[in-house]
Amino acid sequence: ALAWFQRAAELGHVKSINVVGSFYEDGWEVAQDFAMARDCYARAAAGGDFRGRFNFGRVLAAEGEIAGALAQFEQAATTATAAFTAKMVAFLRSAPVAAYRDLADRLDASGPAAG
C-alpha cells in the first residue's frame, strides 16, 4: 500500500502525502522517521488537507510551537468532517496546554463543520 500512496504523493495528492507521513510516524513498512513524517504533514497541511493540518498541528504542539499548532488546528476545523472534528476536539480537550483545551471548547460550541 505504501508504494501506491508514495506514487500518488509524488503526483501531489495531498491526502496521500498525509498518509505517507503516517507510515513514517508510526514506522509502518518503513523505518520510523519523525523528520520525514513532519515534512509530509507540513506539505499536506500546505496543500489544504484537514488531516494533514491536524497532524502538522500535533507535530508543532510536540515541538512547543503553541501558536503554530493552534493555527493548524483551527484551519483543520474549517474543512474537516463532523466526525473528524469530534476526534480533534477529544484530542485537544485532553491536551496539557490550556489554549488547546480552550480551542476544543470553541470548536465543540460551534457545532459540526460543513464537509
CATH of the domain at 39: 1.25.40
Domain membership flag for residue 49: yes
Q: Residues 12-66: pLDDT tens digits?
A: 999 999 999 999 999 999 999 999 999 999 999 999 999 999 999 999 999 999 9
- Domain range for 10: 2-80
Decide if pLDDT at 10 tops 60.
yes
* Residue 70 in grid coordinates: 493552534
Domain membership flag for residue 98: no
Which pLDDT band, with edges at 50, 70 and 90, does 97 fall under? very high
Please give the tally of structural domains in the chain.
1
Helices (H), 27-97: 34-46, 50-62, 66-79, 82-93
Q: Residues 60-70: pLDDT tens digits?
A: 999 999 999 99
The DSSP 8-state label assigned to residue 30 in this structure reads S
